[in-house]
Structure formats: C-alpha cells, structure tokens
Amino acid sequence: MASYRDRLNPELLRFPGLWRTRILISAGLLVNALTGLLCWWFETGARRPWELELALLAALSLWMLACWPREITCGPGGVAQRKWLGLRTARIGWGEVQAIEPLEEFGGAGKRLGLAVSVIQVASARCEIRHTPRHPDAERFLRECRMRMEERASRQARAKQAVPPGRPGEEERQR
C-alpha cells in the first residue's frame, strides 16, 4: 500500500508498512514457532543443547518483530510513529526536530546482498523516527518533512517581524 492522505484529517499523510513485508515476517514467525514446537515435541533424552536452539529461534523471532514496519504519520503538528503492537506512539514536533538525515540500515550490510538499506531518520533529543525500506514512498516522506520544516521556519520568521518592539509609552512606565 502506498502512502495516502487521511480521509478524516486531510493534512495528515500516512506511511503504513508494506503488506509484502508484513506477510514475509508473519510467515517467518510462524516457521519459527513451528520449529520451536517440533524441537520441544521431539526432544530426546540424549544430551543435546536444544535449549540453545530454542534461544536462537527466540532471538531470531525478536529480530523479526523489531523489523516489523510501523505506521508513520506526518502532519502539521509533527511526525509520529506507532511502537510495538501499536500500544505506544513516538511523536516529534517540528520544533523539536534536530536533524532529518539519510542513513543506512544495519550498517549497510544488506547492500552487499542487493537489498535496499536506505533509511530516513527524523531525530530529536528524546526519540527518533525511521522511515525504512519497509515503508512506501521514501522521497515523499523526505519532501513532506522538509516542507513542514520550511513552513515552520517561515511562520517563525513572520511572527518575529510582526511583533512590535514595544508599546508606545512603555519606556515612560519603566522610568
């Protein structure tokens, strides 16, 4: 699914995770669960480190869950991203943004395998939001973020120009 404007709130732009990625991660989690169940079910009395195998499967499953694409929302108030299972939301207001920068996911290791590794990170002092290859329309996300930052900067510049330096007679009251 591509990025889209919210029907109820048209100034919000949503970047959901790609269905293809969600299906592949779900299939991987199912395979891990079945493999773990079979390891446990057919466990023999022989000395074998099957606990290690289950621990590796659990670590792989946690890594897959960490790669699950979470929906990103970009709007006039800032950018937000849902966290684990949609229970929490990380929000960064446009005034809090310290940097919008391109990065490479996993240190660029996937580039050697021909995988997309480009990430756009919106960072603040308290959290960061990442638009990964598992989200659609990276160029649109970057363009929207830069446009919102420029809007905010121009509004602040106009507000500084519109504020008069002092009211008439204010200097007399201070004496």
Quick one: pLDDT band at residue 124, thresholds 50, 70, 90?
A: very high
169: in domain: no
3: in domain: no
With CA atoms as reference, report the closest residue to 90 among 74, 79, 77.
Answer: 79
1: in domain: no
* Mean pLDDT value across residues 20-49: 83
pLDDT score recorded for residue 46? 62
173: in domain: no
For residue 134, the domain's CATH number is: 2.30.29.30
Show Cβ contacts of residue 144 under 8 Å, excluding neighbours closer than 6 positions. 13, 74
pLDDT score recorded for residue 79? 93
Predicted structure pTM score: 0.75
Host domain of residue 16: 9-162
57: in domain: yes
Sheet holding 118-123, edge to edge: 99-104, 118-123, 128-131
| Least confident range of 6-15, 18-27, 141-150 | 6-15
170: in domain: no
Q: Is 38 helix (H, G, I), strand (E, B) or coil?
A: helix
